[in-house]
A and B are shown apart, each in its own frame.
Chain A
Amino acid sequence: MAEPLGFFTDTTVCIGCKACEVACKEWNQLPSSHGGAPTLSGDSYDNTRQLDGLHWRHVKFVEQFSPDRADGRWLLMSDVCKHCVRAGCMEVCPTGAIMRTEFDTVVIQSDVCNGCRDCIAACPFGVIGINPVSNTAQKCTLCYDRLRAGMEPACSKACPTDSINFGTIADLKKMAAARVGQLHERGEQRAYLYGADEKMLGGLNSFFLLVDKPEVYGLPPDPKMPSRNLTPSSLWSTLGAVVIGLMGIFSFRNRGATARRLEEDDVERRRTA
């Protein structure tokens, strides 16, 4: 395997230009939603709204202003598949369509995907969606075809301010740590890295520099693998079955009482009328 590759996205220099979204669509030939004419979202400048099968890059716009505007920021962030080292989508895929590449990235092979959508539910970041053209689950491939040809992904290539950085994970981590240090030195104490270390799903091969809580950017503070839920969810299923059974018994017992009360109400209404 080659050295692991990925993205480091520094949100503090993102200007929200969406060049990454367009470059991604152009290279990967992804159609627009609603034929290019969706309705206005009303949510700041975000009209594509999410990552899904048609949007493999998505720029988020978070407006934070106090009523008097004494404090104000507009957080901009280009979101993408995290290419998790321990990837939930891979774990649940029943057909083996999702593979780990020689670059340590996670790619869905469209010709093997049967469109079952299990991966969509399994991704803690909500990255995957069905592409209506192919009817298969799709997401960022980190431009696997470009990587194979020795080129950098389309989005990072198009990024005018180097908010999206592409490289080996080792280099990116060094760059990211230096940038956090620089921001701290210049007084931006809120800067931190999201997903750069192994604690989060073994590490995200696409990690971020943020200046607010992950939730503010729509990111889970503590993403989990779907298998983590297996034991507790089976317990809940058993308990649920018992409860439903009991409810059935109680509802039959209650039925007579309910019917009587309805009749009384009916009589009362006719009297007042």
Chain B
Amino acid sequence: MYPRSMADSDCVMVMGSNMAECHPVAFRWPMEAKTKNGAKLIHVDPRFTRTSAMADIYAPIRAGSDIAFLGGIINYVIDDQRWSTDPFFKTWLVHYSNAATIISGEYKDTEDNDGVFSGLMEYKGGVEDWPYNGFVGEYDSRSWQYARTRMGDQGRVAATAQSGEVTTTRSGTQADTAKAPDGPPYDALVKSLLKPPPERDESLQNPRCVFQIVKRHFARYTPEMVERVTGCPKDTMLKVARTLLENSGPERTCSFAYAVAWTQHTNGPQIIGCAALLQILLGNFGRPGAGIMALRGHASIQGSTDVPTLYHSIHGYMPAPSGLKKHDTLREYLAIETLPTGYWANTPKFVISYLKSMYGPAATKDNQFGWDWHPKILGDHSHLPMFVAMADGKVKGMLLVGQNPATSLNAKLERAGMRKLEWLVVKDNWLHESATFWKNAPEVKHGDIKVQDIKTEIFFFPSSQVAETEGTFTNTQRMLQTHFKAAEAPGDCRTDVWFTYQLGRRLKKLYAESQEPRDEGFKNLVFDYEHDDARERERGEPDAMKLLKEINGYYSDDPGRHVATFGDLKDDGSTTCASWIYCGVFPAPGQNRAASRQPDPPDQRGAQLNWGYAWPGNRRIIYNRASADLQGRPWSERKKWVWWDEAQQKWVGYDVPDFTPTKPPSAKPKPGATGMDALGGGQPFILKPDGVAWLFVPTGLVDGPLPAHYEPAESPIQNPFYKQQASPVLKYWKRDDNALAAIGDTRFPYVITTYRLTEHYLAGAMSRWNPWLTELQPELFIELSPELAEEKGIRNLDWVRISTPRSQIRAKALVTRRLRPFTIDGKTIHHVGMPWHWGWEGVVTGDVVNELTSLVGDPNVTIHEGKAFVCNVEKVAGARNGVV
């Protein structure tokens, strides 16, 4: 969903996010829902924050106990009388979700398998050259599949499944590649991948149907257990559950908002999946004011995954060619990664248009469109493993653009990695910590490391700011908006795209004469975006509009003709398109839809379709066919969005229908058909191979088909739910400088969470140099309750030492009742929190909070666990505000 749609919600649940503080501008929409519609606002968080201050219900929970809390709500909903009898919920369950689908008889749930899912085994993935994948175990997901048939899933699935790091839990259908016919055209290949449709029981009584499995799985998530694990009073949890259910149904919708406080855990995607499961049960997808709002951290972070800077994915969420999978030929790649049913059946068209954009005329049918030239990945090349590899001396050089790892996770370890580099390029607005770690880092200041021993050669490139750059942003709504250059950058400051473009041009020149086969890719790479404006050309800036055209796509033999929609893409090389999902943003020369700025008339219901351009195909709410019932009628007048118009024989509405435009609601799936023809008129979730929302996730997540509460990698208690303490397949890089506290370690008795403040931005490069911002939050602090402060003899503003098995830092105490001690599993557990914006450079300085964190990651996407770990807190003797 998108922020503006939250204004249509009847209840907004913010959890895993401090939306008012970290997304204050988007927060205007929940506030509008509250003031205009009287919507209820719920905030679930360990701390009482500026978001809680606006909430109708504030539910305090211990950091890391989110699934226990959400599981309690799921259990409540499934037991509820109204939910069980209302036809609205019944339709959603039976027809719009996979509740009726039968799961393989080999599947064993956590309830029957000692707290883990069936298929757990020793990690066997990866290659010798890259021993940094970090898995402590892996699941074989075969037993989680639908009975009779494997449902592949593609697109936004686990990075580690796409990359092939895990040996058995992979995206795609895992076809027998030997039997797949070659192309183009690839229709026969797609057809060869078809499998029999899954078994179903629409009465939902079969004990192996998804609904029964889900029901059993959450039966132990009782209000009492929720209170015991989360520390939230059960009455508060029940009030939240009641409020959500009361505000769901044909007439009402609920939305969820989350941010990195859900992702930064060793089971982040499972927390989000748990909320999705609940929202499916409540019928809250594809409808106005419904869904799950993923609040992104940067202005264009959505864009950076669409046209990715991700290791496991090429443009448009297609798996990166991998050395860990049978990707030797284009045919094999297509056979493994294409799903025969649903929209992803078009994968060959998207991939070949992408290869044409990489290699242009050199990419032909005869050379597999340049398949052999494309780089392949070898394992997990994301942030955490890269720095571990760096610390092992495995990485020679690094280009650092818009990141500040010297203050990042287990910061001392990351800096140790950077010291091993031969060269480092830092491109940023300021000489931040990663540019000066060699002379100003704590270990250098303290004399543990000598400057002359650091051999890294460091280059600094001053950057243009965003207002000095032309381009587009893609926001969390998947909406592209063009921004224009407002001012010239001073001196030698250049844009990031200038840097990439110039680097590419120079590399191409260097490889131009090479006869090595491995350099063919560089030689054939199409990389010409020369600016039409003479002044910009002189500065070496590429033309942003030419890049947008490349991303949108054009006809290979008539480059002046743009591709108007991804429906026109072909698998024979006749179309060129870098990122199929963006196709349509620039449908003709001079028609940049990202630049359109036409709002809907005030007080008129609409989707603001002429403001910017949202992929795919300018749809604002994804899966919006679900806003209508099985017969295609709006669920209610109040929640009308897209519906079937009998007279016109097509789907109409406020939004672009996210469905085959003329397929009537009564249409049945065509037997033996591929693609969209395999889905009926009542299956709204068109990117899923079975057209329905997944309560139970057979493929795509590597740590289980259902969410289960596991403790964080560092926790003060034994897991009260299962024998299994933490995720059995989490990622952990075991090293002396990355030690973890044992369960209930008395040396580190407090739960700590880290976060952002409104007044600063991330690692501080964009805020700590601005006095208007720094005066608002000048110093690092630790928030703690008066109860803990009293126990430790700490007064407000005292200097405090915070320690973890990795390191220790100092901060000033901010004693506040906004934090509270929790009673967890019968014990009093104190909870503290720290914002992490500081470092040793800038107008204001302070210790690096990430000295405290560890390199432990979620197994799906390798995100660290900065939101829940343990620490100790001691008063620094004799130190008061300003004096040490």
From A16, A25, A76, name the one whose CB has the most chain B CB atoms within 10 angstroms.
A16
Any A CB within 8 A of the CB of B465: no
Q: Nearest Cβ in chain B — how far from A45, in angstroms? A: 7
| Given A17-B21, A33-B775, A40:B54 Cβ within 8 A | no
- Kindly state whether residue B758 has any CB partner on chain A within 8 Å: yes
Return chain B residues, CB-CB under 8 Å to A25: 772
Q: For residues 190 through 246 of chain A, which have their beta carbon under 8 Å from a beta carbon of chain B?
A: none
- With known contacts A16-B53, A72-B817, A36–B778 Cβ distance under 8 A: yes
Is B560 part of the binding interface, using a Cβ–Cβ cutoff of 8 Å? no
The interface stretch among B25-33, B96-104, B107-115, B153-161 is B25-33
Residues of chain B within 8 A (CB-CB) of A162 are 28, 31
Chain A 66-101 interface 0/1 with B at a Cβ cutoff of 8 Å (1 = within):
010100111110000000000000000000000000
Expressed in whole angstroms, the Cα–Cα distance for A162 and B35 within the complex equals: 11
CB neighbours (8 Å) of A21 from chain B are 776
| Bound form: Cα–Cα A72–B820 in Å | 12
Q: Does B752 contact A (CB under 8 A)?
A: no
Tell which of B31, B775, B843, B881 has the most Cβ of chain A within 10 Å: B775
Determine if B844 and A36 form an interchain contact, defined as CB atoms under 8 angstroms apart: yes
Given known pairs A72-B48, A162-B28, the reply for A26 and B844 (CB within 8 Å) is no
Beta-carbon nearest neighbor of B35 in chain A: A13
Give the contacts of B817-834 with A (CB-CB under 8 A): 817-818, 820
Q: B777 interface residue, CB < 8 Å from A?
A: yes
- C-alpha gap A160/B34 in the complex (Å): 14
CB closest chain-A residue, reference B821:
A69
Pair A37/B844 contact, Cβ less than 8 Å: yes
Q: Which of A15, A32, A34, A161 contacts B772 (CB 8 A)?
A: A32
Find B818's partner among A63, A75, A161 (CB 8 Å cutoff): A63
Q: Could you tell me if B759 and A18 are in contact, using CB atoms closer than 8 angstroms?
A: yes
| Cα distance, A45 to B757, chains bound together (Å) | 10
Closest A residue to B774 by CB, please name it.
A36
Q: Check B816 against A47 for contact (C-beta < 8 Å).
A: no
Interface residues of A in 134-186 (CB under 8 A from B): 160-162, 179, 182, 186
- With the chains together, A230 CA to B146 CA distance in Å? 88
User: Does residue B52 face the partner (Cβ distance < 8 Å to A)?
Assistant: yes
A17 lies within 8 A of B758 (CB): yes
Q: Which of B28, B31, B38, B778 makes the CB contact (< 8 A) with A38?
A: B778
Contact partners of A48 in chain B: CB under 8 A: 775-776
Q: B796 at the A/B interface (Cβ < 8 Å)?
A: yes
B28 and A161 contact, CB distance less than 8 A: yes
Considering the complex, which residues of chain A in the window 25-64 have a beta carbon less than 8 Å from any beta carbon of chain B?
25-26, 31-40, 42, 44-45, 47-48, 63
- Are A44 and B778 closer than 8 Å at their CB atoms? no
Q: CB-defined interface of A118-145 with B at 8 Å, one 1/0 digit per residue?
A: 0000000000000000000000000000
CB <8 Å contact, A36 and B772 = yes
Q: Which residue of B lies closest to A38 (CB)?
A: B778
B774 touches A37 (CB 8 A): yes
Pair B50/A73 contact, Cβ less than 8 Å? no
Which residue of chain A is the closest to B60 with respect to CB atoms? A69
When distances are taken between beta carbons in the complex, the residues of chain B under 8 Å from A13 are: 31, 34-35, 54
Whether the pair A160, B27 counts as a contact (CB closer than 8 A) is yes
Q: Is the CB of B818 within 8 A of A74?
A: yes
Task: Report Cα–Cα, A67/B817, bound state, in Å.
Answer: 8
A47 and B835 CA atoms in complex are apart in Å by 15
Write the nearest CB–CB distance from B467 to chain A, whole angstroms: 13
Q: What's the Cα separation between A72 and B796 when bound, in Å? A: 20
Docked-complex contact B52 and A74, CB < 8 angstroms: yes
Contact assessment for A65 and B817 in the assembled complex, using a CB-CB cutoff below 8 Å: yes
Q: Which of B760-816 contact A (CB under 8 A)?
A: 770-779, 781, 796-797, 812, 814, 816
Task: Tell me if B38 and A186 are in contact (CB < 8 A).
Answer: yes
A108 contacts partner chain B, Cβ-Cβ < 8 Å: no
Question: Is A113 in the interface zone, CB < 8 Å from B?
Answer: no
The answer to whether A39 touches B27 (Cβ under 8 A) is: no
Set of chain B residues within 8 Å of A186, measured between Cβ atoms: 38
Please, how many angstroms separate the alpha-carbon atoms of A33 and B774 in the complex?
10
Verify B843–A69 contact, CB threshold 8 A. no
- Complex CA–CA separation, A72 to B35 (angstroms): 21
Shortest B156–chain A CB gap in Å is 29
Beyond A63-B816, A161-B28, A186-B38, is A18–B778 a contact (Cβ under 8 Å)? no
Chain B 19-73 interface residues, beta-carbon cutoff 8 Å to A: 20-21, 24-25, 27-28, 31, 34-35, 38, 48, 50-54, 58, 60
Docked CA distance A42–B777 (Å): 11
B333 to chain A, nearest CB (A): 46
Task: Give the nearest-CB partner of A183 in chain B.
Answer: B35
Query: Is B590 in the interface zone, CB < 8 Å from A?
Result: no
Q: How far is the CB of A216 from chain B (nearest CB, A)?
A: 15
The reply to whether A37 and B53 contact each other, CB–CB distance below 8 Å, is no
A22 at the interface (CB under 8 A from B): yes
Contact of B776 among A34, A39, A47, A160 (CB under 8 A): A47
> Which residues from A are CB-within-8-Å of B844?
36-37
Partner of B881, one of A32, A34, A40, A161: A40
Q: Are B881 and A42 in contact (CB under 8 A)?
A: yes
Contact partners of A26 in chain B: CB under 8 A: 772
Return A213 CB to nearest CB of chain B, in Å: 18
Give the distance to chain A from B250, nearest Cβ to Cβ, in Å.
24
Given A13-B31, A42-B814: A73 in contact with B774 (beta carbons within 8 A): no
Tell me the complex Cα distance, A232–B27, Å. Answer: 51
Q: Are A160 and B28 in contact (CB under 8 A)?
A: yes
- The residues of A that contact B797 with a CB separation of less than 8 Å are 40, 42
Is residue A19 within 8 Å, beta carbon to beta carbon, of the partner chain?
yes
Q: How far is the CA of A75 from the CA of B31 in the complex (A)?
A: 16
B882 at the interface (CB under 8 A from A): yes
Instruction: Given the known inter-chain contacts A26-B772, A48-B776, A69-B820, please indicate yes or no for A15 contacting B759, CB distance below 8 A.
Output: no
Using known A-B contacts A26-B772, A40-B812, determine if residue A17 contacts B24 with beta carbons closer than 8 Å.
yes
- Which residue, of B20, B27, B31, B53, has the highest number of chain A Cβ atoms within 10 A? B53
Which residue in chain A gives the minimum CB-CB distance to B815? A42
In the bound complex, CA of A93 to CA of B20 (Å)? 41
Contact between B775 and A44 (Cβ–Cβ < 8 Å)? Answer: no
Chain B residues, Cβ within 8 Å of A22: 772-773, 776
In the bound complex, do residue B816 and residue A44 qualify as a contact, i.e. CB atoms below 8 Å apart?
yes
The answer for the CA separation of A31 and B770 in the assembled complex, in Å, is 11
- Cβ of B770: which chain A residues have Cβ within 8 Å of it? 36
User: Per a CB cutoff under 8 Å, which of B21, B38, B818, B881 touches A39?
Assistant: B881
Residue of A nearest to B773 (CB): A22
B775 touches A16 (CB 8 A): no
Indicate if the CB atoms of A47 and B772 lie closer than 8 Å. no
13 contacts between A and B (CB under 8 A): A15-B21, A17-B20, A17-B758, A36-B770, A36-B772, A36-B844, A40-B797, A45-B777, A72-B58, A160-B28, A161-B27, A162-B28, A182-B35
The 5 A-B residue pairs with the shortest CB-CB distance, nearest first, are A36-B771, A65-B817, A32-B771, A74-B53, A40-B779
Residues of chain B touching chain A, judged by Cβ–Cβ distance below 8 Å, are 20-21, 24-25, 27-28, 31, 34-35, 38, 48, 50-54, 58, 60, 757-759, 770-779, 781, 796-797, 812, 814, 816-818, 820, 843-844, 881-882
Q: A15-B20, A17-B758 are in contact. List 16 more A-B contacts (CB 8 A).
A: A19-B24, A35-B771, A36-B774, A36-B843, A37-B771, A37-B778, A37-B843, A40-B812, A40-B881, A45-B50, A48-B776, A69-B60, A160-B27, A161-B28, A161-B31, A182-B35
Q: Which residues of A contact B (CB under 8 A)?
A: 13, 15-19, 21-22, 25-26, 31-40, 42, 44-45, 47-48, 63, 65, 67, 69, 72-76, 160-162, 179, 182, 186
